[in-house]
Amino acid sequence: MLIKICGMTRPEDAEAAVGAGADLVGFIFVQGTLRALDEARSGWVREVEGAEKVGVFLDSPLEKVMRVRDALGLDWIQLHGDEPDSFLDVLGEKVIRRVKVGPKVNWDRPVYLAERCLPLFDPGAGDGVSWAWETLAERPAGIRFGLAGGLTPGNVAEAIRVVRPAMVDVSSGVESEPGIKDHAKIRAFVDAVRGH
């Protein structure tokens, strides 16, 4: 079970996530969003060690994605928009690809993506929107995917029990205010996942 703590805006928050035992730490390169990092002032990301680094992008040109990945030493790329699937041919297997959620799950798209990357069921963009995770319980055999949306230290164990994802992804659920992580909540989240 991979644990991703996303929306890092400060080095001390990334260090807290690593110290708590997160597998992945996420950095958002979507301008105009609450947790966006400026590419030109994000050199500190390269210094983060102890967890794999994920860069989150929304409908950015492939050239920008690759430039930021290489400049900051990112391990994973998360595609959160309507990027063409041809990006996957270039970026390799370490890609997280958002799957939009609705009242019913059409498994064709996630099954297709799971052959090439890690699909992520996510209703929003770090806004803490919860949704009916149980719709994922009847999934095709063998498919791996991530779960995001409204996860907190208080509900993540239940979400894991119901959904059995390969990864859980949290941002606002471990914050004291938008973009500022609560280190105690990060530890509680990781402990809840590891204790399940």
Give strand pairing partners of 120. Answer: 98, 146
Dihedral over Cα of 153, 159, 161, 166: its sign: negative
Q: What is the pLDDT of residue 196?
A: 73
52 Cβ contact list (under 8 Å, min separation 6): 23, 24, 25, 75, 76
**pTM of the model as a whole:** 0.95
Domains (range + CATH), the chain: 2-194 (3.20.20.70)
What span, in angstroms and rounded, lies between the C-alpha atoms of 150 and 152? 6
pLDDT, tens digit, 9 for 90 and up, residues 47-94: 999 999 999 999 999 999 999 999 999 999 999 999 999 999 999 999
pLDDT, tens digit, 9 for 90 and up, residues 162-179: 999 999 999 999 999 989
